[in-house]
Structure 1
Amino acid sequence: MLELLGYIGAIFIGLVLGITGGGGSILTVPILVYILNYNPVIATAYSLFIVGTTSGFGTIQNFKKGLVIPKTAFQFAIPSLIGVYLTRKFIVPRIPETILYFGSAQLSKETFLMILFAVMMFMASFSMLKNKKEDDIIQIGNKSLVVVVIQLFFVGILIGLIGAGGGFLIIPALLKFAKLPMKKAIGTSLLIITINSLIGFTGDIQNMEMDWIFLISFTTFSVIGIFIGLYIQQYVNEKHLKKIFGFFVLIMSFVILYKEILS
């Protein structure tokens, strides 16, 4: 029964990616951890493959519609993918199994990664829900572009730690700095997610054994979902997309924090 729920969840992962251009990993990691009982470290690795491959199919469809800006995608992807790869290859395997002790209690590596995952979602949701005026949008000069590159590198480190595709971090950057319309930001983010996720996953291949049969079957259902999501996306207003995305991320952050801390 739980396995069936997991595969139904896989369809919703693709659905969310197709509609919002991100958020797929926000579903992927909780489904793998809380429904299919995977260790969070393995779940974050599997998430990169599932979300990256699914996003790749979505990118092809959006490219045909003229909703992908490849030049912008690679500009944003290069700094972050370096951070993702280095994190999955070198940092995650070296995080100690027990990070902190609180008397008789302790903060494990797995709990730390899930809490970090939830905190980043919580912060990203506010970025998406906040109403910004045109005057608030920062123009990029040479100096600010350098700052953006550094920020994207650290975004890559965060993506690598939490196993996310990074849509909920990258879309706000595309809206703010690249000044793309919401639907083009979504289409372009899928290409960035594809690059970041699959490059990051190559770092995991060298550190752990993969269940390829599960990964391919689960990802197949997710790909079906993204085609459904891309179809639905045509009929959704851009402003509504941003709000829906923000509220979804906010709700999921509370769910994960509850599971990891309060329960």
Structure 2
Amino acid sequence: MEIVGYILSVFIGISLGLIGGGGSILTVPVLVYLFHFEPAVATSYSLFIVGFTSLAGTIYQHTKGCVNIRAALSFGLISVATVFMVRKYALPAIPDTLFQWETIVITKSNALMVFFAALMLAASVSMILGHREVASPAPQTTLPKLLGFGFGIGLVTGLLGAGGGFLIIPALVLLMHIPIKEAIGTSLFIITINSMVGFIGDIGHVYIDWPFLFRILGITICGVIIGSAMSRHIPGYQLRSGFGWCVLTMGIYILSRELF
């Protein structure tokens, strides 16, 4: 099964390069189900892999003029602070067993994966239904709304080890009216910052298998370069709807695996 995991690592990078998200959607299940890491450890490793892979994608997209720095910084401050606090203090404080009654046991690992899948389903619906590029200028976005977006994305990144691309892209496209291809590059930049800060917050709490992480990272960086090149030749609406269907499929799989 590990061979399959290494093969899928290529697609983690392709997903990030092609659609600016979805890397953690693939990374966490691959680490849990194929490499057999505990979900809490998998979320930490996912932050490292997705963070540095997204950095490679950000550099490529920036050379093409597809990174909106202003939009990224709007999310950045509160998001980064939230990620660090959640990974450093909140997540380690959650007990391993959340609920137990007779033969029914709900663990932290189960809850994290179910929460992860539920957010994936919600995000996928917004992307699948939003088929058209928005030609109108971006609406006025208030500071409280930006802070709310940043806090929510930081919370998801901190709890689930997800870069947040499956939430960032719908926010950028559907709420801030940023074109999909610019949203992809901007999402990679935000994911890079959030993931790296989240991983730093884990140091000292989680055993880090550095050789394994660098092997996976090398593979995913190759994938992100391929995906970024491919994205230049695919229409934006196809990227958005395809991303939505990918997220929906993975969300249903995780829910069925954890609940049934």
TM class by smaller structure: over 0.9
Structure-2 residue corresponding to 1:198: 196
Shift of 1:137: 9.1
TM-score by length of 1: 0.94
Aligned residues: 259
Code of the residue aligned with 1:140 in structure 2: it is: Q
Equivalent of 2:213, from 192, 212, 215? 215
* Structural RMSD (CA): 1.7
Code of the residue aligned with 1:148 in structure 2: it is: L
Q: Secondary structure at the match of 2:140?
A: coil
What CA deviation, in whole Å up to 9, does each residue of 1:205-224 have, x standing for no partner? Answer: 13122111111111110001
Residues 1:232 and 2:230 aligned together: yes
Shift of 1:180: 1.2
Which blocks of at least 5 consecutive residues in structure 1 are unaligned? none
Structure-1 residue corresponding to 2:129: 130
Larger deviation: 218-227 or 101-110?
101-110
Structure-1 residue corresponding to 2:103: 104
Runs of 4 or more, structure 1, over 6 Å off, are 135-138
Matches of 2:29 and 2:187 in 1, distance apart?
A: 22
Equivalent residues in 2 for 1:12-27 (5 A)?
12-27=11-26
Structure-2 residue corresponding to 1:85: 84
TM-score by length of 2: 0.95
Equivalent of 1:160, from 158, 161, 170? 158
| Identical columns (%) | 43
Code of the residue aligned with 1:157 in structure 2: it is: L
Shift of 1:136: 10
Q: Secondary structure at the match of 2:187?
A: helix
Aligned residues of 1:170 and 1:189 also touching (Cα < 8 A): yes
Equivalent residues in 2 for 1:42-121 (5 A)?
42-121=41-120
Aligned residues of 1:137 and 1:176 also touching (Cα < 8 A): no
Which blocks of at least 5 consecutive residues in structure 2 are unaligned? none
Closer/same/farther in 2, CA of residues 197 and 136 from structure 1, 3 Å limit:
same
Structure-1 residue corresponding to 2:7: 8
Closer/same/farther in 2, CA of residues 236 and 138 from structure 1, 3 Å limit:
closer
Larger deviation: 95-104 or 130-139?
130-139
Aligned residues of 1:16 and 1:226 also touching (Cα < 8 A): yes
Larger deviation: 128-137 or 176-185?
128-137
Larger deviation: 22-31 or 65-74?
65-74
Residues 1:140 and 2:140 aligned together: yes
What CA deviation, in whole Å up to 9, does each residue of 1:153-191 have, x standing for no partner? Answer: 122112211110000000111113432110000011000
Residues 1:35 and 2:28 aligned together: no
Matches of 1:102 and 1:148 in 2, distance apart?
A: 41
